[in-house]
Amino acid sequence: MTRIGRIRIGLGFAAVVAMAVSQGALQAQESWLIGTWEATAEATGMPGPTISMTWTIEAAEDGTFAGSWTGAAQGQSYTRDLSDISVDGDAFGFTVRIEDQGQTGNFVFEGTMAEGEVSGTFEVRPDGMPAVITGTFSGARAEGEGARR
């Protein structure tokens, strides 16, 4: 293969990568998950408070998602950044990093959207341990947020 041939391949590869990044940005900008959602969560098999949650997700310039999560229970409220935000058709997921009273871990959500409402499961996973709490959540787009999809 000649040197010119390698340059063509290199430019072709760069074009494919650029198209993939552009497509990812387009998908993030058009995703049904973008916006503000309100939900409640309950732990499975444990008496305790219902957690009220609000999360807001937006499209980042690089084609990924960014967002924040606020949870409230028993008179306390916490706001955290979201990470690992993903959407695949009607399925979605995200992670909330927990850092409270010297404890660290992740609050991991996985769910689906059907008929404008979201529902799914969550796990609380302290660092280095399996899930210690599991539960379910359900909710809908926040009041005043137009339906997307």
Residue 30 pLDDT: 65
Report the pLDDT value the prediction gives residue 91, as an integer from 0 to 100.
97
pLDDT in tens, 39-60: 999 999 877 778 999 999 999 8
Amino acid type, 49: P
DSSP character for 32?
T
Q: Given a cut of 70, is residue 21 above it in pLDDT?
A: no
| Cβ-defined contacts of 4-7 (< 8 Å, 24+) | none
Both structure tokens of 11? 């430019």
DSSP label of 112: E
Between CA 103 and CA 120 the distance in angstroms is 25
pLDDT per residue as tens digits for the range 56-85:
999 988 889 999 999 998 888 999 999 999
Give pTM, 2 decimals.
Answer: 0.75
Domains and CATH numbers, the chain: 31-141 (2.40.128.120)
